[in-house]
Structure 1
Amino acid sequence: YTPGDENSLHVKESDEKISIRAYNEIPEIISVAQYFKVDGIHPGVGFLSENQDFAKVANHYSTFIGPKTSVFSMMGNKIKARRIAEEAGLPVTPGSNGTLKNERDLFSIVDKIGLPLMIKAADGGGGMGIERVLHEEELLPAYKKVREQAKALFGNDSVFIEKLIYPNRHIEVQIIGDNYGNVVHLGERDCSIQRSHQKLIEFSPADISDELRDAITKAAVRLAKAIGYTNAGTVEFLVDEQENFYFMEMNTRIQVEHRVTEMVYRKDLIKEQIRVASDEELGYEQDDLKSYGFSIECRINAEDPDNNFEASPGTIKKFIPPEGENIIVDTFIPVINGRGSFEVSAIYDSLLANVIVWGKDKKSAIERMEEALNMFIIEGKGVKTTIPFHLKKIKEI
């Protein structure tokens, strides 16, 4: 853990507690792994989870619980990923075939595909390094802005263009593969409810036709097999109103919203990751996997939904998560009820907790989520949350 996280729930409940300077300090993390002679290193969902250099070093001293290091370079660069997806037979949105070399290149491609469009950082991720362009006068400022962001955030100012599919839905497919060529999918999740290109609500199954579900899941498995993918991953797609789908990107890690899939498929995906990293076969085939019921996840952020989701750091004086059948709360904040407090820092992501529920159908899952959100008590000085937003929005899924 890092300074500032010593009171976090995961630190309090850990058997061993080692302080490091930062979560992206590779040498320190490896030193800790060596000292304790760990069997495996799980990178989590952020920071180093898609870092090829970290995966290589982790594998040298232990076992990296994730995919083969070769896939990071294939899927990490969005332009290369588009090209590989096309070669595997997946549809992609119209756009530039490579990076934009200059402003002349920019205008030339825009003349071909037209507006609206998206300008994206080639090495981007996490909803960062993306600008939507609806009008011609926005084009050049957006191009310059994304290049600056890309250089600052990813160390590479290369950008590319994609046609904006709007309105759209953001549908992603969970896959997992072993070291013996077996790859299966565990259905899809709808992650369309977002702010600033970052997800707020996810649910499964998505409200799509059986024909689209069959096509989109087969496409995800086909891509995974084409690149020799192992361990857990997610293939993300955009779907338009006519149910045409387009490959967007592949996340080569477990995702925050994996719990939704676990609820409906009754599989512990972290356990499966560890099994695959231990060189075990999956031990099941696609026909063995069935989806049951309906699951929803709401991301509870320290943000003000009435003020454009502005970050809302402060001091939490009371924190009591909901409890009940088929309700899960993932959080790093310990229960606070009358004693103590917890500082919500502006340093890290604004996520406070994930609330995940399961119901026998969509109606019962929505009712259970409403119950859970109404039970959730977060009080303090200066801290506002997205709970009011979620209570309104889940009625629309």
Structure 2
Amino acid sequence: MFDKILIANRGEIALRILRACKELGISTVAVHSTADADAMHVRLADESVCIGPPPSKDSYLNIPALLAACEITGADAVHPGYGFLSENARFAEILSDHNLHFIGPKAEHIRLMGDKIEAKKTAKRLGIPVVPGSDGAVTPDQDAMAIAKAIGFPVLVKAAAGGGGRGMKVAHTEADLQLALTTAANEAKSAFGDASVYLEKYLQKPRHIEIQVLGDGRGGAIHLGERDCSLQRRHQKVWEEGPSPVLDAAARAKIGNTVAKAMQELKYIGVGTIEFLYEDGEFYFIEMNTRIQVEHPVTEMITGIDLVLEQIRIAAGGDLPMTQDQVVINGHSIECRVNAENPVSFRPSPGKIQQYHPPGGLGVRIDSAVYQGYVIPPYYDSLVGKLIVHGKSRVECLMRLRRALDEMVVDGIETTLPLFRALVREPAIIDGDYHIHWLEQYLAGQKTD
């Protein structure tokens, strides 16, 4: 087992990793920018190191500063959390070159799955169903038009690198394609330094369903069920739940076993998430995230498995915590991402939290690093915290979520709590009858069907 882990992140995920380390008896090192000097994970860690000024490029993305922090403190492993350097293959290689353990997958798997074109080819080779589309990058010429016609409009133009909804454009007709290709390529070049784009069939009203996997790096891998992340705004997840309201046990086992088998063949190590679009009973691979997910607590609540703790154990050479037959899905869980944003315009709302009261009670969990008097800085993402609830059934879970949302108090800044209080009372949400475009239609005041 590791002696000391440096947590190369901030906010709630840094605190989440710190808690797992403490339960394993591992010493912790918190790194922070000057803007995060009063952060909760900094206060609770065994040691802390300031790695630079507020801009991420000068602090949390500053690899030399992180290496120096490891050397100063004697850390022997680094946990990257999510975001920042968590899916940076070069960072993993640099750590290895300095005899430091990267708590995550092999650099080759990060690189493979970070390129969406190669990831799709790999998924297809491993027997994972994929969305119909181009076999590789396309250019704004007749070749792209021919491929689009063969797929059938509408088509989705997607950046080969990156994520977060950037470099994605829909072409509904032949006339739309040229502009979509050019716009997506320009966005991709600006955001990721790579203008490569490819084409996929644009599904009309799919669900976004992802399968959580855990591999030991030696050919062993299991799946831990699915999460339904269909409630999204601008391709950003807002509400996640598991199990999905639209999958039965047979469908879950079929796609889960397919994914687990693929991860066994890859000899994947650590946690990972394979994301699909699901429509008319069919799954279509869209990407794999080679890190812990923001919404991992949903899986923890319905399986009883501490994913971050197991991630650390496996990185240190440990075995999988159980066999596939021992994985049991228990009840239902929902997570709401509470952001420091205006609930209507979604304009960021950094500032000082004047009053803070998290909800409690049976089956209620808050993953947050804020506290009363904490100042949310304007330099990073706007996540205040994640409210996660669990119940014996989806109905019980929804009622518990309604109660917990009404209890939660975050004053001094604007948050998205009012949005969730409205959503949990919406008939379509109560019925589980929604898709990836539903939330944006709801926010626009349009009729959903």
TM range (shorter): over 0.9
Q: Are 1:167 and 2:167 counterparts?
A: no
Q: Tell me the matched-pair count.
A: 388
Residue 46 of structure 2 is matched in structure 1 by: 15
Residue 51 of structure 1 is matched in structure 2 by: 88
Preserved contact between residue 202 and residue 298 of structure 1 (Cα < 8 Å): yes
With over 3 angstroms needed to count, the CA separation of the structure-2 counterparts of 1:321 and 1:235, relative to structure 1, is: same
> Which residue of 229, 237, 249 corresponds with 1:210?
249
Shift of 1:352: 1.2
3-state DSSP of counterpart to 1:127? coil
Q: Which runs of 5+ in 1 are unaligned?
A: none
> Which residue of 417, 421, 424 corresponds with 1:394?
424
Residue 232 of structure 1 is matched in structure 2 by: 271
Q: Are 1:3 and 2:42 counterparts?
A: no
Residue 26 of structure 2 is matched in structure 1 by: none
Residue 326 of structure 1 is matched in structure 2 by: 363
Residue 42 of structure 1 is matched in structure 2 by: 79
Q: Give the fraction of aligned pairs with identical amino acids, expressed as a percent.
A: 40
Task: Give the letter for the 1:310 counterpart.
Answer: R
Q: Are 1:263 and 2:301 counterparts?
A: yes
Work out the CA distance in 2 between the residues paired with 1:294 and 1:4: 37
Shift of 1:171: 0.5
> Which residue of 179, 194, 198 corresponds with 2:232?
194
Residue-by-residue CA offset, 1:312-355 (whole Å, 9 max, x unaligned) = 33443222222222211111212x1xxxx343333211211101
Work out the CA distance in 2 between the residues paired with 1:235 and 1:260: 15
Shift of 1:311: 2.6
Residue-by-residue CA offset, 1:93-131 (whole Å, 9 max, x unaligned) = 111111013333322222222222211110122332222
> Which residue of 396, 400, 403 corresponds with 1:371?
403
Shift of 1:136: 4.2
Work out the CA distance in 2 between the residues paired with 1:177 and 1:7: 36
With over 3 angstroms needed to count, the CA separation of the structure-2 counterparts of 1:93 and 1:393, relative to structure 1, is: same
Shift of 1:138: 3.5
Q: Are 1:25 and 2:72 counterparts?
A: no
3-state DSSP of counterpart to 2:424? helix
Preserved contact between residue 212 and residue 273 of structure 2 (Cα < 8 Å): yes
3-state DSSP of counterpart to 1:120? strand
Preserved contact between residue 310 and residue 321 of structure 2 (Cα < 8 Å): no
- Structure 2 matches for 1:1-397, cutoff 5 A? 1-21=32-52, 22-60=59-97, 61-207=99-245, 208-240=247-279, 242-307=280-345, 309-334=346-371, 336=372, 341-380=373-412, 383-395=413-425, 396=429, 397=432
Work out the CA distance in 2 between the residues paired with 1:154 and 1:140: 21
Preserved contact between residue 86 and residue 92 of structure 1 (Cα < 8 Å): yes
Work out the CA distance in 2 between the residues paired with 1:358 and 1:274: 25
Moved more, 89-98 or 218-227: 218-227
Moved more, 57-66 or 169-178: 57-66
Moved more, 324-333 or 91-100: 324-333
Task: Give the TM-score of the pair, scaled to structure 2.
Answer: 0.83
Task: Give the TM-score of the pair, scaled to structure 1.
Answer: 0.94
Work out the CA distance in 2 between the residues paired with 1:73 and 1:81: 9
Shift of 1:283: 4.6
Preserved contact between residue 220 and residue 267 of structure 2 (Cα < 8 Å): no
3-state DSSP of counterpart to 1:311? coil
With over 3 angstroms needed to count, the CA separation of the structure-2 counterparts of 1:322 and 1:158, relative to structure 1, is: same
Preserved contact between residue 332 and residue 353 of structure 1 (Cα < 8 Å): yes
With over 3 angstroms needed to count, the CA separation of the structure-2 counterparts of 1:314 and 1:142, relative to structure 1, is: farther
Aligned Cα root-mean-square deviation (Å): 1.6
